Structure 1
Amino acid sequence: MARIICKCGEILSNTLAPNDIQLRVYTDKEWDDIINMGQIDSLDIPEPKIDVWRCPKCERLYFFEEDNKATRIYKLEE
């Protein structure tokens, strides 16, 4: 569980579960590997390799990798 302050000033946190901040995003290959695992329980589905957060105020996307630091930040164009 973590929290950051978005560049727009909004506080983003994943402490609540479920929440509207943290997105579950899998690459097509990751999802194919999960599907090909056969009969699995939903609790056995691995976490995505990249954690994606979306700001509800400005809709920026933050991409986090292994070191828990935002490695890429994308701002919505108009």
Structure 2
Amino acid sequence: MRMQCKCGEILSNSMAPNDIQLRVYTDREWDDIINMGEIDSINIPHPKIDVWRCPKCERVYVFEYGNHKAIKVYKLEE
């Protein structure tokens, strides 16, 4: 996926690894993953929330997993 940040920077998660997309799990999601037993990169589910951070202005975009439209946008105050 690709999008333009409000500051003009082009953000993309098409390359892996990348510095745009963050893996953010709630404590409950992470607890469920830990309790699955044997963990490897194949059976770790995607988080329910997808988070992107702009490297230029540091805005944070929050998406519901699989949705291409941000549900929240955060901008640093200071």
Give the TM-score, by structure 1 length.
0.94
**Aligned counterpart, 1:37:** 36
- CA shift for structure 1 position 67: 2.7
**Aligned counterpart, 2:69:** 69
**Aligned counterpart, 1:23:** 22
Give the TM-score, by structure 2 length.
0.94
Structure 2 unmatched runs, 5+: none
SS in 1 for 2:29: helix
- The separation in 2 between residues aligned to 1:67 and 1:18, in whole angstroms, is 20
Q: Deviations over 1:27-73 (max 9, x none)?
A: 00000000000112221100000000000000000001143210000
- CA shift for structure 1 position 77: 1.1
- CA shift for structure 1 position 14: 0.4
- The separation in 1 between residues aligned to 2:57 and 2:67, in whole angstroms, is 25
RMSD across aligned positions (CA) = 0.8
